[in-house]
Amino acid sequence: MDSIVQALYLHAQESPERVAVIADDEKITYGELWKEVQGFAEFLRKQGFPKGSRITVKAAPSIWFAVSCFGIHLSGNVHVPMEKTIGPDGIINIADELAASMIVADADLSDKLEGKQYTCISSADVRSIARENYRDGLEFEFPTLDMTCDIMFTTGTTGKSKGVMESHRAVVAVSENVQYGADIPKDNIYLVPAPINHASAIRKLYVSILTGTTVVLLDGFTDVKKFFDYVEKYKVTSILMPPAAVRMILLLAAKNLAKYSDQLHHIHTGSAAFPEADKDKLCEILPNTRLYFAYGSSEAGCVSMYDYSKNRGLISCVGKPNKNANIFIVDDNRNPIKSSKENQGLIAISGGMVMQGYYNAPKLTKEVLKDGVVYTNDIGYIDDEGYVYMLGRKGDVINIGGLKIAPTEVENVVLRYPDIAECACFAVEDRMGGVVPKLNVVMKKGCELDTAALRAHMAKHLEAFKIPKQIVKVDELPKTSNGKLDRKNLK
């Protein structure tokens, strides 16, 4: 299989009546989607763009988005999804930066297009344009493996962020990683309640089309009622849930989720640190559901998946490498090492799913990608059984006279202590001018901090030098705008 749009074509021939995408309570079958995709590709072909032209799309969890995405791929052009909240100036910035040929957006840009080389069509018109341009007998060459498929922006508001270029080879490889890693069933119905321009979300659209199954798109988790309505109504069997969403559902609606333990084949979590306590709680309420934590990045895609419902207790484990991924550990000079818990290094990744590079940023690309290997800043090791462990980011490591402490390793142990709601481990200066690890903890309601008992708990799981010298109770921890721990502002 050379591209996801080719998989769409094959499934449209084999099972044209099967539902491909559900969004806004509307369904489209594989047969209908393939027709509309051809129609939109034909429209793009008529524009006369050279192949490989960039078409930017203000994303939305909608059927038109799937039509435009695969239509762009089929026409041999490059799909660039942007945040749904991006404003007109942000859209123009990105289109300028990419020298785009067309913008698809629900914004009125008429006063900003003068002198620009690109045009804009309304996202509301995508499907009618597709239908108008479809006719029987249209012929297309499918994109080949090395053509650029997507450019994914790591953040989409300023136009200054990094654009990760992914080939069709990479998109197919990462989709296969998820397909085999999660053993996606043939009748899977995947609920994706996340911004569809995010890598983890769009990959679930791709894996669903690759496997000829159904994807249900939903605009995030803020409408909790709709989330559960969709799980019930569409008999959802798998869900993409970022750690923040897991935390939200556990706090607001754990009992409701528990009802679906038999219906749900798996839950896919990834993209950020995932507290061990939340994993434990999810295992408790969903005893019959596989619970995957996926490890990866924008640059290398999803490279390993770990079913923590089966292998409980392996703290910081991210599983074994997926089908198309090769994971190894290197030292600071990028030389491969034989790693272990005692001899940790940096995680390096190769395989079909690695990016082509950052758009228009060769210098930046060289810092991360060399000879097909993505060198991450993630500290980790691989055990004798081949399990990969990711302990934290290089910049976050606390170095005490050469002894290194990954804060997340300490935090994951502390979060298993029942009275602790949240915690953060970080370095502070000691009286001698060196650094020592400090721990700030937020207690669960009604719980008091028992420092001695907490230290005893840590001593069972951590070497002595990793146990924080100072433990302080705080009301809250600093967070970034997307809810992650703000390590720079810990005191």
- Edge-first strand listing for the sheet containing 78-82: 119-122, 102-105, 54-58, 78-82, 148-153, 163-167, 357-358
Query: In the complex, what is the shortest distance from the CB of residue 383 to other proteins, in angstroms, rounded to a whole number?
Result: 34
Q: Enumerate residues 451-480 that contact other proteins by CB under 8 A.
A: 479
For other proteins, which residue of 58, 247, 279, 290 counts as binding (CB under 8 A)?
A: 247
What residues numbered 251-270 form the site for other proteins, per CB under 8 A? Answer: 251-253, 256
**Measured from the CB atom, is 220 or 478 closer to other proteins?**
220
CA distance 436 to 466: 9
In the complex, the smallest distance separating the C-beta of residue 247 from other proteins, rounded to whole angstroms, is: 7
Judged by CB under 8 A, does residue 198 bind other proteins?
no
CA-to-CA dists, residue 43 to 101, 132, 199, angstroms: 13, 9, 27
Do the beta carbons of residue 392 and residue 409 sit within 8 Å? yes
- Among 16, 31, 220, 478, indicate the residue that binds other proteins (CB under 8 A): 220
If one asks whether residue 138 binds other proteins (CB under 8 A), the answer comes out as no
Residue 360 binds other proteins (CB under 8 A): no
Torsion sign (Cα): 297, 302, 303, 307: positive
Nearer to other proteins, 394 or 479 (CB): 479
- Residue 85 CA to residue 243 CA, distance in Å, equals 21
Point out which span in 111-119, 244-252, 313-321, 456-464 binds other proteins (CB under 8 A). Answer: 244-252
Touching other proteins, residues 400-429 (CB under 8 A): none
221 binds other proteins (CB under 8 A): yes
CB of 198 to other proteins, least distance (A): 14
Q: Cβ of residue 220: shortest distance to other proteins, in angstroms?
A: 7
- Grouping H, G, I as helix, E, B as strand and the rest as coil, residue 450 is coil
Q: Whose Cβ is closer to other proteins: residue 34's or residue 65's?
A: 65
Task: Collect all residues with Cβ–Cβ distance below 8 Å to 446 and sequence separation of at least 6.
Answer: none
Least distance to other proteins, CB of residue 249, Å:
9
Element (H, E) at 446: none
By CB under 8 A, the residues from 78 to 117 that bind other proteins are 85
Contact 266, 297 (CB under 8 A): no
**Residue given tokens 């509309």 in the structure block:** 36
Residue of 130, 117, 110, 128 lying closest to 69 (CA atoms): 130
Can you give the binding site for other proteins, defined by CB under 8 A?
Answer: 85, 220-226, 228, 244-245, 247-248, 251-253, 256, 479, 482-483
